[in-house]
Amino acid sequence: MIYTPVSAKINRGLYLKLKKYNISFSINRIIKRVLEEKVRKREEEEIKETLKKVQEILKEIPSSELVKVIRMSREEK
């Protein structure tokens, strides 16, 4: 896996509070987790949109035709 460096700036006040309250943090883990979550949400949105489009297409196909195609597919296996 190839990695790309990413940096983040936080306000000095927040940084000082983290130090004051001895809150340890791993910027790397936090950034990675947040970015992964954002990507996951966008992928879910994309999948939902695709499913809506597929659903609209399938509505136009008679159910008898779908049954026929499914049976043919099973027989091929």
On the question of pLDDT at 77 being above 80, the answer is no
Q: What burial letters (b/e) apply to 44-62, b meaning 16+ CB within 10 Å?
A: eeeeeeeeeeeeeeeeeee
Q: Are 64 and 71 in contact (CB under 8 A)?
A: no
Question: Residues 38-52: pLDDT tens digits?
Answer: 999 999 999 999 999
pLDDT at 25 over 80: no
Q: Which amino acid is at 42?
A: R
Q: What is the DSSP letter of 54?
A: H
pLDDT cut 90: percent of the chain above it: 56
The residue ranges of every structural domain in the chain are: 12-76
pLDDT on residue 26: 78
Q: What does the pLDDT look like over 45-71, one tens digit per residue?
A: 999 999 999 999 989 999 899 899 999
